[in-house]
Amino acid sequence: MITASTTAAEPVRRWMRVRAIEGQELALIGVTGLLWIVLSLVTDTFLTTGNITNILFTVAPIALVGIGMTAVIVTAGIDVSVGSQAAVVMVVVALLVRDAGLAFLPAVAVAVVTGLVLGLVNGLLVAYGGIHPIIVTFGTLNIYRFVALQIFGTEQVAGVPDTLSVIGGGAEGRLLGVPTAWWLTLVLAAGMWCYMRFWATGRHLYAVGGDAFAARLAGVRVRRRQISAYVLTGACVGLAGCVLIGSGGLVQQNVGTGLELEVIAAVVIGGTSIIGGRGTVLGTLLGALLVGTVSSAVTLLSWPTEVTQLFIGVFILVAVGVDLLRERRRSAR
């Protein structure tokens, strides 16, 4: 016998089925691997330890924020304010480390809490404001940037001690020859992958993005899941800010500008559906790695830096096109 509750719950079950690895992820592995082979043949420096280390460190902050952004986009949301959030986090932490002598763990805690608060504001506005997430976060993008500039004052923050260098890009920030920031990214990504795959509340993120109305009828706390996704993104921004501070003793006023575009590109290229309901953290890691590989290739081949944006734009269009075709095919069944 089919009841109303059964009918409402079926779409949720459909969106809660998450495969271990998606076809687009396999394609990304193939494309990235092929690029690495080609670049190793045409350049002598691509497969050097220094270049690979540089790629992994450059990718780490993007992938860190992408972990949270994956959850946001899976719920059919988006957060274009992460660059401005990073600016607020970095100027606050940099000033505290420099002027108050904040140690490593307290500095990381301040960064994460600051990011959590900023993410919570976004989450509450999206969940209870009834406004499209891109409008909400575009507004907070400008508000957070204003707040950051007010804290900066008229000067950049210079002379920041190397308190956070253990997760920075220098020699101190390496473990077994690999950037500590990359290890941190892998650990968090693994935890988030398990959460979204095996925990009921993690699978609810897919249900919310697939059909929020049906998810609500099935007992999913839609607003709570939406808020948690934005809060998680804020926490990831806090960690990414610490990584960026650890790579140098200077925080400039334009810090974080464009970060949101790089993160969203990595998530979308990684196979997360821009309309929600589908995506994985593994795909985001692969998308970020592909973007980092292309950027490194353009530099090594002495091509104009604009070519990187061209390739990323093409990758995004292809990824979105494939996603829309897949969605049409599924709807036609």
- How confident is residue 15, by pLDDT bands cut at 50, 70 and 90? very low
Give SS3 for 98. Answer: helix
Could you tell me if 238 and 69 are in contact, meaning their C-beta atoms sit under 8 angstroms apart? no
Averaged over 203-231, what is the pLDDT? 93
Q: What is the pLDDT of residue 84?
A: 96
Averaged over 290-314, what is the pLDDT? 88
- How confident is residue 179, by pLDDT bands cut at 50, 70 and 90? very high
Joined tokens for residue 227: 């808020």
| Bridge partners (DSSP) listed for residue 250 | 158
Q: What is the pLDDT of residue 21?
A: 62
Averaged over 54-63, what is the pLDDT? 93
Name the pTM for this structure: 0.89
Instruction: Give the span between the Cα atoms of 232 and 127, in whole angstroms.
Output: 15
User: Is 1.10.3470 the CATH number for 4-332?
Assistant: yes
Instruction: Give the span between the Cα atoms of 181 and 61, in whole angstroms.
Output: 8
Neighbours of 131 (CB within 10 A): 12
Q: What is the pLDDT of residue 16?
A: 45
Joined tokens for residue 1: 């016998």
Residue ranges covered by each domain of the chain: 4-332
Query: How far from the centroid of its chain's Cα atoms is residue 136's Cα?
Result: 18
Q: What percent of the chain has pLDDT over 70?
A: 92
Mean pLDDT of the chain: 88
